[in-house]
Amino acid sequence: MIRKIYAIPLALSMSLCTGLSACTQQKTISAATPVQTPIPVQTPTSKTTPKAIPLTSDVKARKFLESYFNEITTGGFNGSTYYCKSSNAFTFYSPRKYEILKILPGKENSMIARTRIESSNAGGVPIIKNWTFLMKNEKPESSSSIKEAAEYGYCIFIVTDQF
């Protein structure tokens, strides 16, 4: 920080009047009186960009699931591209709404998500049911077709209503 100091000669003294009528009170400024020095403001010469904060596992898993649910609720797809290569894709009938209730770490870099899905059963009757998703930390089967799925590094291994 650069400070500029303005010097006042030692012999300088002056009277200051306060009030609108006659000067009734006088103050003397001398070299012993502290002087406030203006501090120049320095502007940055180069723009700095903030560093990206790496996503934690639970945030990645949440974003992965949100991408999956957006695809099956609004995209008109069945979401099979989000499943692991060794898994069979689970099909929801007419999914309309979802809520991610909780995401917890599982064993060996996996994540467990508890969700509530509003959909229909095979007979077309509307249902609201809690489902558990087990996600593994690996690329989905068709990660090249779904950029978001590949970006978060998870795939759906198991979907069950038990848990």
What is the C-alpha to C-alpha distance for residues 75 and 86, in angstroms, rounded to an integer? 24
Residues contacting 5, CB < 8 A, separation 6+: 37
Residue-level pLDDT at 144 = 44
Taking the CA of residue 92 as centre, how many other CA atoms within 13 Å lie in the half-sphere pointing to its CB? 30
Residue-level pLDDT at 87 = 86
DSSP secondary structure code for residue 55 in this structure: P
| Tens digit of pLDDT at every position of the chain (163 positions) | 455 444 444 444 344 444 444 444 444 444 555 556 666 655 555 566 666 666 788 899 999 999 999 999 998 888 888 998 888 889 999 999 999 999 999 988 899 999 999 999 999 999 999 999 999 988 666 544 455 566 788 999 999 998 6
Residue-level pLDDT at 132 = 97
| Opening angle at CA 94, ends 91 and 98, nearest 5 | 85
Report the 10 Å Cβ neighbour count for 104. Answer: 11
Q: pTM (2 decimals)?
A: 0.63
What is the C-alpha to C-alpha distance for residues 133 and 158, in angstroms, rounded to an integer? 6
Tell which residue, 153, 161, 1, 157, has the closest CA to residue 67. 153
CB 111 within 8 A of CB 105: yes
Residue-level pLDDT at 134 = 95
Q: For residue 117, with 0-12 CB atoms within 10 Å meaning exposed, 13-18 middle and 19 or more buried, which class applies? A: buried
Residue-level pLDDT at 44 = 55
CATH class of segment(s) 57-160: alpha beta
What are the residue boundaries of the structural domains of the chain, listed by start?
57-160
Taking the CA of residue 81 as centre, how many other CA atoms within 13 Å lie in the half-sphere pointing to its CB? 17
CB 159 within 8 A of CB 135: no
